[in-house]
C-alpha cells in the first residue's frame, strides 16, 4: 500500500466515523484531526470523490534551474542510443560532443523520465523500437536481462606499460539458431584497456592460438611493440602439454610468457570479467534487439564496429585512462613502452627468453 493510499484510507475513516457517531467533534478527537481539516476533507470528497483526497504538493518547479530542453533531448537521445551507459559515462560522452552537463544533471533527467536504472532504459529502448519500427525486436529474447553481480576484485594487476601484460579469456555469447554456440575470444591490454575480440563456434586451443595470430600479434606489430606476457585462466583451451598444445606452442614460438590465474578464482582475471559485463550490456543486449543474425560473419562485423568505438571513442574510467579513450592511453604510453622493451632486450632478454627478474607470475 502506498503512502497516498494510506492517507486516503485515514480520511475516509474520519468521514465514516463522523457519520457513525453523528458527532464531528468526537470523530475528530478520536482520529486526531481538527474540525477545519474535517470539513475540508468532506468538501473535497463531495466535489471530486476519492481522487480529490490525494495529497497535492504546493511546491512549484523552478524552471530556471532546470536543464535546457536541448540538453535534455541530447541526454535522452544518447540514452536510447546506448542504454548501458551510466550517468557519469553519459556526462563524459556529451562533453566530447560539446554539451556540458554534470552526472547529477543526467540523473535528474532520468528520474523525470523513469530511466534511472539500466533495466528501465532497456525497456524504454524496446518500447521505442516497437513504436517506431526502426529496429527489429526478437520476441524469443527475454524482455529484460538479469543484472550481473559485480565481480569482487582481490588485489591489483601489476603492469608497467602497454604490451607488458595482456589478459585473455573465453566468453560464451549464446546459441543462435542456424549458427550454433558462439564463443568470444577476448584480449585486453591491462595498461591501456584496449580490447580485441573474435568470435568462434567452439573453444578449442587452435582457436585461442588463431585469435592471437590473427588479431593480437598483428596489432602489436603495427604499433612497433611486443606483447611480453599473457594472463589466462586454467581452461583446456589455454593449458596443456607444451609439446602438443596449439596455444602453448604458439606462445613459445612468439616468445610470450604465460601466466595462469589462481585456481577457482575468476576474479584474478577480473579485467576480462568486467569487460565481458560491459560488452554484454553495451553491445550484445542491444544488438540482438536490433537485428536477427543469420551467420557468424554478420555478428563479427558489428562486433568489430563496436570495438572500434570502444577503443577510439568511448571514454574509460579505468585507473590509467582517467576519462580518456583506451587508444589514447595506449598511444600516449607507446614511446615509454618501446624504451622499456629495448631495456629488456639489453638487460634480461637472452635468446628470446625473458628472465624472472623482469616478469613475475
- Angle at CA of residue 179, ends 124 and 205, nearest 5°: 110
Please tell me the CATH code under which domain 166-354 is placed. 3.30.420.10
Query: How many whole angstroms separate alpha carbon 124 and alpha carbon 144?
Result: 11
Q: Measuring CA to CA, which residue among 111, 143, 149, 110 is closest to residue 127? A: 143
Query: How many whole angstroms separate alpha carbon 122 and alpha carbon 280?
Result: 13
Query: How many whole angstroms separate alpha carbon 352 and alpha carbon 252?
Result: 10
Query: How many whole angstroms separate alpha carbon 246 and alpha carbon 252?
Result: 10
pLDDT digits (tens, 9 = 90+) for 39-84: 988 888 888 887 777 776 666 666 667 888 899 999 998 888 888 8
- Per the DSSP assignment, residues forming a β-bridge with 180 are 176
Q: Measuring CA to CA, which residue among 179, 173, 215 is closest to residue 296? A: 179
pLDDT at 176: 87
Q: Long-range contacts: 356-361, Cβ < 8 Å, 24+? A: 359/228, 359/229, 359/257, 360/158, 361/259, 361/260
Assess contact for 246 and 206: CB atoms under 8 A: yes
Q: What string of pLDDT tens digits covers the 361 residues of the chain? A: 576 677 788 888 888 888 888 898 988 988 888 989 889 888 888 888 877 777 766 666 666 678 888 999 999 988 888 888 889 989 999 999 899 999 999 999 999 899 988 878 888 887 877 777 665 444 323 333 433 333 333 445 778 899 999 999 999 999 988 889 999 999 999 999 999 999 999 999 999 999 999 999 999 999 999 999 999 999 999 999 989 999 999 999 999 999 988 776 666 778 898 999 999 999 999 999 888 898 999 999 999 999 999 999 998 887 788 889 999 999 999 998 888 776 665 555 433 333 333 333 3
Assess contact for 261 and 231: CB atoms under 8 A: yes
Domain residues of the chain, as ranges? Answer: 3-53, 63-132, 166-354
What's the grid cell of residue 1?
Answer: 500500500
Query: How many whole angstroms separate alpha carbon 181 and alpha carbon 183?
Result: 7
Query: How many whole angstroms separate alpha carbon 40 and alpha carbon 36?
Result: 6
pLDDT at 354: 36
Q: Measuring CA to CA, which residue among 129, 183, 123, 191 is closest to residue 156? A: 191
> Residues, the chain, total?
361
Assess contact for 320 and 160: CB atoms under 8 A: no
- The overall pTM is greater than 0.75: no
pLDDT at 177: 84
pLDDT at 92: 92
Query: How many whole angstroms separate alpha carbon 239 and alpha carbon 235?
Result: 6
Amino acid at each position: 500500500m502506498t503512502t497516498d493510499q494510506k492517507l486516503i484510507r485515514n480520511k475516509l475513516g474520519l468521514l465514516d466515523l463522523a457519520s457513525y457517531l453523528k458527532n464531528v467533534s468526537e470523530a475528530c478527537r478520536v482520529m486526531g484531526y481538527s474540525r477545519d481539516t474535517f470539513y475540508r476533507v468532506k468538501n473535497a470528497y463531495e466535489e471530486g470523490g476519492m481522487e480529490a483526497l490525494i495529497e497535492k504538493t504546493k511546491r512549484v518547479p523552478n524552471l530556471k534551474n532546470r536543464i535546457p530542453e536541448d540538453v535534455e533531448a541530447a541526454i535522452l537521445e544518447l540514452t536510447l542510443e546506448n542504454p548501458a551507459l551510466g550517468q557519469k559515462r553519459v556526462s563524459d560522452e556529451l562533453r566530447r560532443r560539446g554539451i556540458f552537463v554534470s552526472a547529477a544533471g543526467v540523473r535528474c533527467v532520468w528520474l523525470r523520465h523513469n530511466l534511472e536504472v539500466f533495466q528501465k532504459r532497456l525497456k524504454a529502448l524496446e518500447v521505442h523500437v516497437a513504436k517506431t519500427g526502426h529496429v527489429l525486436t526478437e520476441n524469443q529474447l527475454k524482455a529484460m536481462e538479469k543484472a550481473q553481480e559485480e565481480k569482487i576484485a582481490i588485489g591489483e594487476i601489476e603492469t608497467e606499460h602497454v604490451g607488458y601484460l595482456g589478459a585473455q579469456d573465453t566468453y560464451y555469447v549464446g546459441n543462435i539458431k542456424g549458427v550454433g554456440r558462439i564463443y568470444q575470444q577476448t584480449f585486453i591490454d591491462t595498461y591501456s584497456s584496449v580490447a580485441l575480440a573474435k568470435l568462434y563456434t567452439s573453444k578449442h586451443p587452435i582457436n585461442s592460438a588463431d585469435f592471437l595470430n590473427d588479431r593480437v600479434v598483428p596489432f602489436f606489430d603495427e604499433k612497433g611493440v611486443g606483447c611480453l606476457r599473457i594472463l589466462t585462466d586454467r581452461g583446456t583451451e589455454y593449458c596443456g602439454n607444451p609439446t602438443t598444445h596449439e596455444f602453448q606452442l604458439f606462445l613459445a614460438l612468439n616468445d610470450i610468457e604465460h601466466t595462469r590465474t589462481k585456481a577457482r578464482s575468476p576474479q584474478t582475471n577480473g579485467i576480462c570479467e568486467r569487460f565481458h559485463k560491459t560488452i554484454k550490456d553495451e553491445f550484445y543486449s542491444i544488438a540482438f534487439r536490433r537485428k536477427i543474425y543469420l551467420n557468424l560473419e554478420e555478428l563479427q562485423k558489428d562486433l568489430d564496429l563496436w570495438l572500434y568505438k570502444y577503443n577510439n571513442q568511448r571514454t574509460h574510467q579505468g585507473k590509467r585512462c582517467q576519462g580518456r579513450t583506451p587508444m589514447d592511453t595506449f598511444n600516449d604510453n607507446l614511446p615509454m613502452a618501446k624504451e622499456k622493451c629495448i631495456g629488456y632486450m639489453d638487460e634480461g632478454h637472452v635468446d628470446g627468453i625473458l628472465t624472472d627478474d623482469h616478469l613475475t607470475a
